[in-house]
Amino acid sequence: MPLTDADLVARVLVDDDHHAFAELVRNHQSAIRGLLRQLTRSDLALADDLAQETFLRAYKHIRSFRGEAKFSTWLYRIAYNCFREDARKRKELVGIDETLLESQPDPQSADPALKHDLMHALQLLPLHERSAILLCCQNGLSHDEAARVLEIPLGTVKTNVLRGREKLKKTLAAWGPA
Amino acid sequence: MNEQFQEDWLDARLREEAPYIDDAGFTAQVVQKLPPRRASRNSFRGAILLGVTMLACVVTYFASDGGRFLISAVNTFAAMPLWMLYVVAIGCGMVATGVAAAAAYFQAREQTLG
């Protein structure tokens, strides 16, 4: 039977077990790196640096994880904080960036043009709406969990998701269902 | 209805565009950067217990005039009837099992609570 996140966290806490922590990283690296890639507008190197920083911080502060939220939610919160701190340093906490990076073509994607337009539409959203959309619609967090990650009120998350969705729908109107 | 359909379509596309990212050495890089493991508290605990036990053995040996109490204990056991030896053996076994079960319980609880 595979160990749960709680089991692995317990092992790290009791025995400082690096293997258990490696398992946690393996289980969550895709989601965290994926979120950071989207937040950094497909800057893969920066996203991976921030993901690494996220896991190192998680290890350092694992005693502060009290199990009230899911481990993944706790990680998202650290990742978002890492991103925010880095963005502050780079003074990039603005809505629309004119120097948008092109997303890399994905051979697995069913329709590269749709993917391109979706990524483009996402990147056009202001950061607060993009973050809410990524957490709730793409990563499946509840509004409540997203509010904890983003450290903003629940109502604000709902508004951001709603506005973000509306903008995406408008931008992708040509692709939408008939 | 159409509104909901559009939202579902949009959410589905967003989830589709979040494919699994292959680890490709990422975990190994993170683990490499972790600080070295702190010395295990368990081995430190074990060393203390072993030291105290050995010290107690030495003190007892000298305090009992070269372990004479052992010879008298062996004589006492030898003089016991067989059924009493069985009772003593079973009693010792039960005490040892109880202590081991309690230790296992507290260890499991410590691991669960973190």
pLDDT at B31 over 80: yes
| Tokens, residue A88 | 């502050």
Whether residue B83 lies within 8 A of chain A, CB to CB, comes out as no
pTM (two decimals)? 0.65
Q: What is the least distance, in Å, from the CA of A29 to any CA of chain B? A: 7
A165 contacts B10? CB cut-off 8 A? yes
Q: What is d(CA B52, CA B69) in angstroms, rounded to the nearest whole number?
A: 21
Which of the given ranges, A44-48, B45-49, B104-108, has the highest pLDDT on average? A44-48
Per-residue pLDDT reduced to its tens digit, A94-129? 544 444 433 444 444 455 676 777 888 888 889 899
Q: What ipTM was assigned to the predicted interfaces of this complex?
A: 0.76
| Tokens, residue A87 | 């963005």
pLDDT of residue A101: 35
pLDDT at A2 over 90: no
Q: Which residues of A42-58 are buried (b: 16+ CB within 10 A; e: fewer)?
A: beeebbbebbbbbbbeb
pLDDT of residue B28: 94
pLDDT at B50 over 70: yes
Q: What is the least distance, in Å, from the CA of B29 to any CA of chain A? A: 8
| Tokens, residue B47 | 């060393």
A52 contacts B30? CB cut-off 8 A? yes
Residue from A165, A170, A171 to probe the interface with B (highest B Cβ count within 10 Å): A165
Q: Where are the beta strands (DSSP E) in chain A?
A: none
Q: What is d(CA A31, CA A19) in angstroms, rounded to the nearest whole number?
A: 20
% pLDDT > 90, chain A: 51
State mean pLDDT over B37-66: 82
Q: What is d(CA A40, CA A87) in angstroms, rounded to the nearest whole number?
A: 9
- Name the one residue in this structure whose structure tokens are 């305090």: B63
A78: number of Cβ within 10 Å: 21
Which of the given ranges, A38-42, A152-156, B42-46, has the highest pLDDT on average? A152-156
State mean pLDDT over A57-72: 90
A10 versus B45: the higher-pLDDT residue is A10
Q: Do residues A50 and A86 make contact, with C-beta atoms less than 8 angstroms apart? A: yes
Per-residue pLDDT reduced to its tens digit, A124-144? 889 899 999 999 988 889 999
Residue contacts between A and B (CB atoms, under 8 Å): 97
Residues 6 or more apart whose CB falls under 8 angstroms from that of A58 comprise A24, A65, A74, A75, A78
Q: H helices of chain B, where?
A: 2-16, 26-32, 41-63, 68-79, 82-113
pLDDT at A14 over 80: yes
Q: Provide the angle, in degrees to the nearest 10, between the axes of the packed helices B82-113 and A5-15.
A: 110
Residue from A55, A62, A119, A163 to probe the interface with B (highest B Cβ count within 10 Å): A55
| Tokens, residue A25 | 């990283």
A25 contacts B31? CB cut-off 8 A? yes
pLDDT of residue A95: 47
